[in-house]
C-alpha cells in the first residue's frame, strides 16, 4: 500500500513538472522571449504565445508581431518586416512646433499643412524599409514598431525618407523604444515594424457636424 502511494505521488510530481515545462516553453515570442518571432508567420499575443486567431493577431488585443491589420482610416495595410535596422535622427518636433518644413522632411510637400493635431499625434520617423511603399505613397502612414531585444512598442508616423534600409526614428522615439540602453550603446536598434491604421478619420464626422451647424 505504501509503495503504491509513493508511486502515485511521484507520478503526480512528474505531471506537474511536465505541465509547467510546457507552459514555459509555449511562451516563445515577443518581449517574454527576447523579441523572438513565431514560426510559420503566426501572430505573437500580448502574453508571448503563438497563434492565428484574433486573440493573438489583432493590434487591439496588444498583438506583438505578425499582427493582422486593424482596419480604419489612415493608411494601414498590415504589411511589415522583421529584424530591421533602426537608427535615430534629431527631428526634435516639440522644439519646432511640429513643423515639417522646419526639419526639411521629405513629406512636408504633402503633409506640412495638415492640422497640428495630426502632425503631433505620433512620433516621427523616416522610412526606407524592405516592405511597404516608399516615397510619397508612404507619407503620413503609421507603423507599429517593436524593439526585438526588449519587446517595447510604439506607433510612429512616416514623415521622411532615409537610406539605411530600415527606419530613421526621431531621437525621442528611439529613446522610448530603447528601454535597456542597448540601442544607444550600439547606435541602432533591431526592430520589427508593421503598417497599422493611424485612426485619423475618427474626428472627421464631428467636425462636419459643427460646420453644418454654423452654415446660414
Q: Which domains does the chain have, with CATH numbers?
A: 30-68 (3.30.60), 69-199 (2.40.40.10)
Note whether 23 and 44 are within 8 A (CB).
no
Q: Which residues of 30-52 are buried (b: 16+ CB within 10 A; e: fewer)?
A: bbbbebbbbeeebbbbeebbbbe
Continuous segment of H or E residues that includes residue 25: helix 2-26
pLDDT of amino acid 14: 54
pLDDT of amino acid 77: 53
Note whether 30 and 64 are within 8 A (CB).
yes
pTM of the model: 0.62
pLDDT of amino acid 212: 44
pLDDT of amino acid 26: 59
pLDDT of amino acid 17: 44
pLDDT of amino acid 96: 96
Which residue ranges of the chain lie beneath pLDDT 70? 1-26, 34-35, 59-60, 66, 68-77, 201-216
Burial-class residue 213 by CB neighbours within 10 Å (0-12, 13-18, 19+).
exposed
Could you tell me the three cell numbers for 156? Answer: 510612429
pLDDT of amino acid 60: 65
Note whether 157 and 198 are within 8 A (CB).
yes
d(CA 186, CA 133): 28
pLDDT of amino acid 10: 52
> Please, what sign has the CA dihedral across residues 58, 127, 73, 152?
positive
Amino acid at each position: 500500500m505504501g509503495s503504491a502511494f509513493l508511486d502515485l505521488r511521484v507520478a503526480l510530481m512528474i505531471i506537474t513538472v511536465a505541465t509547467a515545462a510546457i507552459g514555459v516553453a509555449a511562451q516563445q515570442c515577443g518581449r517574454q522571449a527576447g523579441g523572438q518571432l513565431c514560426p510559420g508567420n503566426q501572430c505573437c499575443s500580448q502574453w508571448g504565445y503563438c497563434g492565428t486567431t484574433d486573440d493573438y493577431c489583432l493590434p487591439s488585443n496588444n498583438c506583438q508581431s505578425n499582427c493582422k491589420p486593424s482596419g480604419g482610416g489612415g493608411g494601414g495595410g498590415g504589411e511589415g518586416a522583421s529584424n530591421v535596422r533602426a537608427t535615430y535622427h534629431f527631428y526634435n518636433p516639440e522644439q519646432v512646433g511640429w513643423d515639417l518644413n522646419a526639419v526639411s522632411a521629405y513629406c512636408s510637400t504633402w503633409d506640412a499643412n495638415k492640422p497640428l493635431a495630426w502632425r503631433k499625434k505620433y512620433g516621427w520617423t523616416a522610412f526606407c524599409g524592405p516592405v511597404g511603399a516608399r516615397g510619397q505613397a508612404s507619407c503620413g502612414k503609421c507603423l507599429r514598431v517593436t524593439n526585438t531585444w526588449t519587446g517595447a512598442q510604439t506607433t510612429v508616423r512616416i514623415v521622411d525618407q532615409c537610406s539605411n534600409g530600415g527606419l530613421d526614428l526621431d531621437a525621442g522615439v528611439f529613446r522610448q523604444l530603447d528601454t535597456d540602453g542597448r540601442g544607444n550603446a550600439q547606435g541602432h536598434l533591431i526592430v520589427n515594424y508593421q503598417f497599422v491604421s493611424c485612426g485619423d478619420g475618427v474626428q472627421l464626422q464631428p467636425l462636419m457636424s459643427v460646420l453644418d451647424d454654423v452654415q446660414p
